[in-house]
Amino acid sequence: MDVISVIRTKRDRGALTDEQIDWVIDAYTRGAVADEQMSALAMAILLNGMDRREIARWTAAMIASGERMDFSPASGITRPTADKHSTGGVGDKITLPLAPLVAACGAAVPQLSGRGLGHTGGTLDKLESIPGWRAALSNEEMLSVLGSTGAVICAAGDGLAPADKKLYALRDVTGTVEAIPLIASSIMSKKIAEGTGSLVLDVKVGTGAFMKTLEDARELAATMVGLGTDHGVRTVALLTDMSTPLGLTAGNALEVRESVEVLAGGGPADVVELTLALAREMLDAAGLPDTDPARALADGSAMDVWRRMISAQGGDPDAPLPTAREQHVVTAPATGVLTRLDAYGIGVAAWRLGAGRARKEDPVQSGAGIELHAKPGARVTAGQPLLTLHTDTPERFPYGLEALTGAYDIEPDGTAFTARGIVRERVA
């Protein structure tokens, strides 16, 4: 079998056979298929799609490329396990307060997370802004942290779905992130191989999400729920709004700071709302439906787990977070009601300021990003700060500002504004 024939099959809108899928995933993992060849196949999949059988086989081949983990009582983990995955958004720091919160309520949370993809932030990039914190843990270290604190957030080990690790980075820099078959198989191969007992999916929908419409978000959610269920993982999905950034920050250290505010019982209302909604779904899926996560935020127990978890992974929860060397304030051009603040524009601007990467090997700036001083529905006055841009490299400011052109609307006082709820739909 050869990679050119596989590419041509999908390029010409054919269905890949099980043998083709198994071969190309194995060959790419071994290095026998080059990045540029897999890029061509990924683009063909983006343009022409895959049917349910192809997606299922692609996912199974990704799982088979590596090892599978075990969080059963035999491993020493006696709590029920629950994990969460977001398809990626702007200002989406939910994993940071969510994992310790659910652990404080009695579940074990083995949270394998990723890095930024395009304009969307990555959980590992955010946490690495904490001095000393380590994303790379061995399986033994992961089990140790999970057993001692109840939660762990880390990178997937080299042995876990290694095919996905290579393909994940490749998609980021080849314009193929949005392919539903590749999103579904990437997420579910890691989660199934991880061995969690239940999984809650946060499928973003809106301008700042990879899924722009409810129809596409439903398709992705249904595909992933089906894959999870077929592999014995209790899986549910929430479709959540990503037309406006979550919270008041987009950027790595900026979002960590905001997450700590949530764990301290404060933080932006939308971040708290979504954190609690996902926590309730995770606890229900783990068989703990009567636990109240709001109480664990209020009484400080979630914060206690956060501090233990960060410390267990080498981080200092008391250390000052990095701040960018340069700032630029964007002021409101008129007085009125802020009716729109586009998540995509904010995400691209933060990315250009250094919070994200253009190539898979690029570093990120921990302090780069954007602070939001108002959210849609707020009244603003001409000249007041609307956004503050942060970066270590001020030559990036013009490119960040360019991304913000047309990213917000201010309408005259008295303009009707109706806020939309964070959770749009539930798929189970």
pLDDT tens-place string over residues 124-154: 999 999 999 999 999 899 999 999 999 999 9
CATH code of the domain occupying 73-312: 3.40.1030.10
State the chain's mean pLDDT as an integer: 95
pLDDT band at 210 (very low <50, low <70, confident <90, very high): confident
Question: Above 80 in pLDDT, residue 359?
Answer: no
The band of 360, judged by pLDDT with boundaries at 50, 70 and 90, is low
| Chain CA centroid to CA 268, Å | 19
What is the arithmetic mean of pLDDT over 59-67? 95
pLDDT of residue 144: 95
Residue 358: pLDDT above 80?
A: no
How far apart (Å, rounded) are the C-alpha atoms in residues 90 and 67? 32
DSSP, collapsed to helix, strand or coil, labels residue 111 as strand
Is 339 or 357 the better-scoring residue by pLDDT? 339
CB 335, CB 380: distance < 8 Å? yes
Residue range 280-288: mean pLDDT, rounded: 97
At 94, the pLDDT band (50, 70, 90 cuts) reads: very high
Q: What is the pLDDT of residues 321-342, one digit of tens each?
A: 999 999 999 999 999 999 999 9
> Domain 326-411 sits in which CATH superfamily?
Pyrimidine nucleoside phosphorylase-like, C-terminal domain (3.90.1170.30)
- Compute how many other C-beta atoms are within 10 angstroms of the C-beta atom of residue 173: 18
Question: Is residue 143 a contact partner of residue 116, using CB atoms and an 8 Å limit?
Answer: no
**If DSSP codes are grouped into helix, strand and coil, which group holds residue 408?**
strand
Would you state the structure tokens that stand for residue 207, as one six-digit string? 């301008």
C-alpha distances in Å from residue 331, one per residue of 158, 204, 234, 381, 387: 46, 29, 47, 9, 7
Return phi, psi of residue 375, to 5°.
-115, 160
Terminal-residue alpha carbon distance, the chain: 39
Q: Thinking of the domain 3-49, which architecture would CATH place it in?
A: Up-down Bundle (1.20)
Catalytic residues: 85, 164, 171, 186, 190
Residue 234 has what pLDDT? 95
- Domain spans of the chain, in order of start: 3-49, 73-312, 326-411
Segment holding 148, helix H or strand E: helix 139-149
